[in-house]
Amino acid sequence: MDSIKIDGIEFYGYHGVLESEKTLGQMFSVNCEFFMDTSRIYDDIENTVNYADVAIDIREFCENNRYDLLEVLCNDLSKYILCKYDKICELKLSIEKPHAPIPTKFSNVSINIHRKRVIAYLAIGSNLGDRENFLSMVFDEIQKCSYIKEIKRSSFIETIPYGVEDQPDFLNGAVKVETIFTPFELLDFCKNTERLAGRKATRRWGERTLDVDIISYGDEVVNDENLKIPHVEMHLRDFVLKPLFEIEPYYYHPVSKKYIREMLMEIK
């Protein structure tokens, strides 16, 4: 992707933990680099992103809001810019605080982040109560959220239980989304949606009102205690692969290097 850089956007703000920072304020500076395709703008400003507008939006956001932590300011600012300018695919932000109250000699303090739009796939399932209604809640929550957008959804399929057989049959599906959430923010979105559906902790692989799993997140590999991407058992579950195949027949697993058609054939 091509990039446009705007360095040294200055603003006077009231961000900090100390009371003096909240009342007296100080000067800050923002460096911004955003990525987009500039190959077909045809010398028309209406087809591109006006970097003057971006600079003003950054300054006004930072002046009109107050945060204790630069980390939160930088993250919220990135979401604001990516939501407002849909032509921007990726964004790098740096917020500098040269007059931070540090009791030693230093030249600058800064926070640097990199955020982007990512295609992710979610697997959804339910085997308690009004199963179709619970699955539809996922689409409703996606529609309500500014940071995630539905691209395509599968039809629902009836499947037998996996792992624990003495429970009702499941209704399963999959959804393709574009999101500016980080993987862990997307995980929080999934867990919050499950809670809205009244999901309660049961036995492993047991019955549930709603299950929302991240199947993959771009080409990224996450190996954390609480989150593993791509989903470690997706290649073993036809109730995941069949709906995923319906919406993305050329899906390619970033770890096993197999196409979804190959994974389905191996299950059969």
Residues 84, 87, 97, 191: which is the catalytic one? 97
The letter for the amino acid at 198 is G
The letter for the amino acid at 214 is I
Q: How far apart (Å, rounded) are the C-alpha atoms in residues 196 and 181?
A: 19
Strand ranges in the chain using DSSP code E only, listed in sequence order: 2-13, 26-36, 90-96, 110-116, 118-126, 148-153, 157-159, 170-179, 211-217, 222-223, 228-229
Distance set, CA 173 to CA 153, 216, 242, 243, 247 (Å): 8, 15, 8, 5, 10
**Residue 258 designated active-site:** no
Distance set, CA 7 to CA 52, 55, 64, 107 (Å): 12, 9, 20, 17
Report angle CA 194, 195, 201 to the nearest 5 degrees: 90
Report angle CA 104, 97, 54 to the nearest 5 degrees: 170
Q: Would strands 170-179 and 148-153 be described as parallel, antiparallel, or unpaired?
A: antiparallel
2: which strand partners?
36
Helix axis angle, 51-64 to 70-84, nearest 10°: 140
Q: How far apart (Å, rounded) are the C-alpha atoms in residues 60 and 54?
A: 10
The letter for the amino acid at 177 is V
Residues with a known catalytic role? 97
